[in-house]
Structure 1
Amino acid sequence: MGAQTDGPPAGTPSLVWGLPLSEEPGLGPLTLPGFLREVTTRYPEREALVLRAARGVERWTYAELWERAIEVASALRACGVGRDTRVGVLMTNRPEWISAVFGTALAGGVAVALSTFSTPAELDHLLRASAVSVLLVERKVLTKDFVSVLFELESEIAKAAPGTLQSARFPFLRRLVALGESAPGETVETWDGFLARGRDQPRELVEATGAATNPCDAALIFFSSGTTSRPKGILNSHRGVAAQLWRFGRLYGFTPADHVRCWTANGFFWSGNFGMALGGAFSSGGSLVLQPTFVPGEALELMQAERVNFPFAWPHQWAQLESAPNWDQADLSSMRFADVNTAIARHPTVSTTWTEPGHAYGNTETFTISTCFPANTPHETHQNSSGPPLPGNTLKVVDPLTGAVVPRGERGEICVKGPTLMLGYLGTPLDETLDAEGFFRTGDGGYLDDAGLLFWEGRLTDIIKTGGANVSPREVDEVLAGCPGVKVGRTVGVPHETLGEIVVACVVRHEGATVDTGEIRGFLRDRLASYKVPRHVLVFDEDDIVLTGSAKIKIGDLRQLATQRLQSSGSG
């Protein structure tokens, strides 16, 4: 770390605070109904969203978005939804997803964001864990028919009137509404039929319900990615969600004059995508360009046709876009807020020096980010850190075994508390989740430097201990990402008889590229300390690298795969 010349005295504890939340600029109402009412009042005639589909182009202004959310809220009230009623939303990125989530909030309910990537077994777990009373589902997503899946899970569902259910397996589920063409003789309620139920509801009562919502009330349930176990249901408050929606617009630096047009490759049922894409666009009066399912070639056509200027995707999706047959033919010259470090910055029609607020740290449990630098922060400021704590947040780094706060610069477990911290896990007492001071112990390793900046180094269980030294896989991965020919690279620790673990890099090469493992090790040797250089580099096919629904690699599976590969080759 070097000598402490201008920093705090030696032994200063790893404990830092952000500004008070009340001093954060750019915040508006801290409830979902309040957020929606504010942006739809500010920008009534602006386009809020667009969906290009086979049936034509659908565009909603902000005023229409408010009306569609009121429409859903009215229908939910007619179905008996009230304060804290859980409403499942199982849809792709489409206008009805947005009106359903905000409509649920306006009705006083808690929206449960369900992934359309769910297998039948996963959907069974999500529905039982979340105890939804009403399920709003997009019937067909690619090859899945979710209505059929539901009835296969519970063959003994009793169907009374259209849409009403009785189920021993899902005892809280009372109503099923399907968006899409219904099957002959089916009793599932249609979307249009559902909306018609609300037409007699007094509008003033619907709006009054939304206005009566408190920032501390429950708002949304998102599920963790489930990289090591079954996904956990995470209950978020209105304040936590709304604060992040306002915050992302500020951190991106968006203003109404930018006319943000945001396309994203990822589902809104992931909290990061909800906060960054939806929050970044709506908080600044921008528009969401919706693509229900990610198809690279179609995405390029969509971005060109709708003049997208703010794209949001994960690294593997950027690689898929770059490999699409129409990549070179697409006109992407509208891109203004495209990070210079992503593949889209290399497109022949794109010219950008913009950098996103990428130096950040967060969890689903804190409804995305807890620390962050804003867009275009120079390297001399961020220093490859994860940034300072955001307003309202307190961070500490503790000894993972004792829970004692460690001195600045010493590595340990990152803990956080603040206004966006979850209300709790479903089915788990809060005192089993937070420590005695109310901090969430993240299970992530890192340290705070003398300036109070956080440096995240990965999951504590993923830190590689080799020959008495600790190696952060994240540090190796960041260097690996710049290696020619490497499309995806992840570093794991593999058990070793004398060293404890050895560092092993697992890579997938770009299509058509050739990679030499010796050259990769040489590339890393020039940029890393010797003990951090992988002893082995293993090349895998893309199908070998297992991703979760939110594109996180299942490190445990990859570690096992690497171990098996080395054992079969006699290496070690």
Structure 2
Amino acid sequence: MPDTVDALIRAQAKLGDKPFVIDTSSRMSYAELDSVTSSLADGFVGAGIGKGTRVGLIMPNSVRWVQLALALTRVGAVLVPLSTLLTARELAAQLRTASVQYLIAVEEFRGHRYLDDLPELPALRQVWRADELPTGAGQIGDLTDTVVPADPMVVMFTSGSSGPPKGVVHSHASALGAVRSGLRARCIDAETRLYLPMPFFWVGGFGSGILSALIAGATLVTEQIPEPEATLRLLEREKVTLFRGWPDQAEALARRAAGADLSALRPGSLDALLPADQRAEPGARAKLFGMTESFGPYCGYPADTDMPRSAWGSCGKPFDGMEVRIADVDSGKPLPPGAVGMIALRGPHTLRGMCRRSREDLFTVDGFYPTGDLGHLDDDGFLFYHGRSDDMFKVSGATVYPSEVAAALREIEGVRAAFVTGVDGRVGAAVVCDGYTSEELRAEARARLSAFKVPTVWLLLGSEDDIARGATGKVDVRRLRELLGGQA
């Protein structure tokens, strides 16, 4: 199998006029992908970009994003996708951390103006607006031949619930290998027409969207700002077979779907949009689990297939190319099946490094990457997630895992989202729901949780938008704690 982006694009060019990426205003075939990215890459080389050059890209989802990103990686440049949610200060910090030398940016998106207050940065040589890029004749063959699978391909920023974002480095081989290992679990093949609105600057958009479609020979359908009515028309018009948007988005669409023809959707899509007889029982299907450091999911189970009953509620099994070890949080010693500890990863699909961090800082002496996530493996090798090691807290001496409490709250009919954290030694929950009082939610929680896990501090919200998130989209736990603290 091709192990560089250039080799992959050349191999898939045989698909000719088959659509590769479709957005709301344009589309690109596999043949056009080859020719357009070749021309763009030639222009980049002429402007001074070469193997190892770090190039930042900040723009919303579009066919153009795909063209620019893949053109850069074809010639061995290192792509640095940047969040459209960044403030000017955050953008400058990430450009500095990744030592970005060239920056391609839209001027404005959703009220963010990225270039107005950009300071001088030591490594930054040139800034291009997305509509003023150099192009060439597409003569890049000799240069692409120098790119090898071990070369760095991308620096993707991620952050936990607190702390500055981390620039995670992946090679062509680690990224493409990670995507290949999860295609079956994500039900993506050459016949798939995949709807995925996740931003391309996250690994969920770049890996699970763009690269998944490219490797499988599938068609990717995306949009910049999903709105229910427009999204339904898009799904209908493009005959989308696999919906992998957000769960709350799927539920909102389902409420408006009367009259829309979604008959092309197949199992593996989010349940809310499927006919009742195709939906799984709660917990029967794996929750694909991964992180930027593993270039997306490293654990799962075919999304259209029930797991064995004993594994319900798990994340499935580790994919080929990923070894999972559960270790004691304090000592780092391996733990037996059933014991909860920190999840550590090892294998060819893990990160190759991190900006401004040494390998000794990141990995154990035997090559495992401690993820900071808590979990346990059962006797059959299924992984169960228990939250973040820095999020767990004690109530009257007993350990509470926020993810366990949140999962139980989401089982309550009418609860669309739940966020849990510790508040001064008590369990706090911010819940997005309709028609419940906190007393009614507490009664429902008592039926599902041990007494010490039942939230005593409640905040009822009308929308997930009321929950603060960082630039990488993760919940800001510190601000969640402050929000709930005001209810105590």
Sort the Cα spacing of 1:552 and 1:215 in 2 relative to 1 into closer, same or farther, 3 A.
same
**CA shift at 1:35, angstroms?**
2.3
Give the partner amino acid of 1:236: H
What is the aligned counterpart of 2:86 among 110, 118, 123?
118
**What's the % identity of the aligned pairs?**
29
What is the aligned counterpart of 2:52 among 84, 88, 113?
84
Sort the Cα spacing of 1:118 and 1:288 in 2 relative to 1 into closer, same or farther, 3 A.
same
**Alignment-derived partner of residue 8 in structure 1:** none
**CA shift at 1:97, angstroms?**
1.1
Sort the Cα spacing of 1:378 and 1:36 in 2 relative to 1 into closer, same or farther, 3 A.
same
Determine if contact 1:244/1:367 at 8 Å carries over to the other structure.
Answer: yes
Determine if contact 1:446/1:455 at 8 Å carries over to the other structure.
Answer: yes
Determine if contact 2:187/2:268 at 8 Å carries over to the other structure.
Answer: no
Determine if contact 1:248/1:275 at 8 Å carries over to the other structure.
Answer: no
**In the alignment, is residue 378 of structure 1 matched against residue 306 of structure 2?**
yes
- 1:20-99 alignment, distance < 5 Å: 28-41=1-14, 43-53=15-25, 58-99=26-67
1:316-356 deviation per Cα after TM superposition (whole angstroms, max 9, x unaligned): 43355456xx5434332322245353x3337xxx8744799
**Alignment-derived partner of residue 327 in structure 2:** 398
**CA shift at 1:484, angstroms?**
2.7
Determine if contact 2:5/2:73 at 8 Å carries over to the other structure.
Answer: yes
Q: CA–CA distance in 1 between the matches of 2:273 and 2:306? A: 21
**Alignment-derived partner of residue 465 in structure 1:** 394
What is the aligned counterpart of 1:538 among 439, 444, 459?
459
**Alignment-derived partner of residue 437 in structure 2:** 516
1:7-55 deviation per Cα after TM superposition (whole angstroms, max 9, x unaligned): xxxxxxxxxxxxxxxxxxxxx22222222222223x22311122333xx
**Alignment-derived partner of residue 208 in structure 2:** 276
**Alignment-derived partner of residue 233 in structure 1:** 167
Q: CA–CA distance in 2 between the matches of 1:93 and 1:395? A: 33
**CA shift at 1:372, angstroms?**
1.8
Q: CA–CA distance in 2 between the matches of 1:397 and 1:553? A: 25
Give the partner amino acid of 1:565: Q
**CA shift at 1:264, angstroms?**
1.9
**CA shift at 1:98, angstroms?**
1.1
**In the alignment, is residue 288 of structure 1 matched against residue 197 of structure 2?**
no
**Alignment-derived partner of residue 385 in structure 2:** 456
Comparing 303-312 with 379-388, greater Cα deviation is found at 379-388
Give the partner amino acid of 2:258: D
Q: CA–CA distance in 1 between the matches of 2:178 and 2:69? A: 16
Determine if contact 1:339/1:354 at 8 Å carries over to the other structure.
Answer: no
Sort the Cα spacing of 1:334 and 1:40 in 2 relative to 1 into closer, same or farther, 3 A.
same
Which of structures 1 and 2 has the larger relative contact order (alpha carbons within 8 angstroms, sep 6+)? 1
**Alignment-derived partner of residue 261 in structure 1:** 193
**CA shift at 1:219, angstroms?**
0.4
**CA shift at 1:301, angstroms?**
2.1
**CA shift at 1:518, angstroms?**
2.0
Determine if contact 1:275/1:368 at 8 Å carries over to the other structure.
Answer: yes
Give the partner amino acid of 1:548: G
**Alignment-derived partner of residue 503 in structure 1:** 427
Q: Give the total of aligned pairs.
A: 484
**CA shift at 1:235, angstroms?**
0.8
Q: CA–CA distance in 2 between the matches of 1:124 and 1:276? A: 27
Q: CA–CA distance in 1 between the matches of 2:253 and 2:203? A: 23
Determine if contact 2:338/2:379 at 8 Å carries over to the other structure.
Answer: yes
Give the partner amino acid of 1:393: M
3-state SS in 2 of match to 1:491: strand
Determine if contact 1:366/1:422 at 8 Å carries over to the other structure.
Answer: yes
Determine if contact 1:371/1:387 at 8 Å carries over to the other structure.
Answer: yes
Q: CA–CA distance in 2 between the matches of 1:137 and 1:337? A: 38
Q: CA–CA distance in 1 between the matches of 2:286 and 2:201? A: 21
Give the partner amino acid of 2:67: S
1:371-392 deviation per Cα after TM superposition (whole angstroms, max 9, x unaligned): 2222223232533222222212
Sort the Cα spacing of 1:308 and 1:459 in 2 relative to 1 into closer, same or farther, 3 A.
same
Q: CA–CA distance in 2 between the matches of 1:531 and 1:385? A: 23
What is the aligned counterpart of 2:148 among 211, 214, 219?
214
Give the partner amino acid of 1:456: Y
3-state SS in 2 of match to 1:283: helix
Give the partner amino acid of 2:178: Q
Q: CA–CA distance in 1 between the matches of 2:183 and 2:334? A: 34
**CA shift at 1:278, angstroms?**
2.1
Q: CA–CA distance in 2 between the matches of 1:351 and 1:449? A: 30
Determine if contact 1:340/1:354 at 8 Å carries over to the other structure.
Answer: no
Give the partner amino acid of 1:375: A
Determine if contact 1:249/1:279 at 8 Å carries over to the other structure.
Answer: no
**Alignment-derived partner of residue 328 in structure 1:** 258
- Any unmatched runs of 5+ in structure 1? 1-27, 155-168, 181-189, 496-500, 567-572
Sort the Cα spacing of 1:405 and 1:123 in 2 relative to 1 into closer, same or farther, 3 A.
same
1:446-480 deviation per Cα after TM superposition (whole angstroms, max 9, x unaligned): 12222222221000121232222222221221121
**Alignment-derived partner of residue 446 in structure 2:** 525
3-state SS in 2 of match to 1:441: strand
Determine if contact 1:91/1:97 at 8 Å carries over to the other structure.
Answer: yes
What is the aligned counterpart of 2:242 among 310, 319, 323?
310
Larger radius of gyration: 1
**Alignment-derived partner of residue 248 in structure 1:** 182
Give the partner amino acid of 1:263: Y
Determine if contact 2:391/2:421 at 8 Å carries over to the other structure.
Answer: yes
Q: CA–CA distance in 1 between the matches of 2:52 and 2:458? A: 51
TM-align CA RMSD = 2.3
Give the partner amino acid of 1:459: R
3-state SS in 2 of match to 1:233: strand
1:101-156 deviation per Cα after TM superposition (whole angstroms, max 9, x unaligned): 1111111210111111111111111211122222122233233343xxx24223xx
Q: CA–CA distance in 1 between the matches of 2:89 and 2:259? A: 42
**Alignment-derived partner of residue 68 in structure 2:** 100
**In the alignment, is residue 224 of structure 1 matched against residue 158 of structure 2?**
yes
Q: TM-score, normalised by structure 2?
A: 0.92
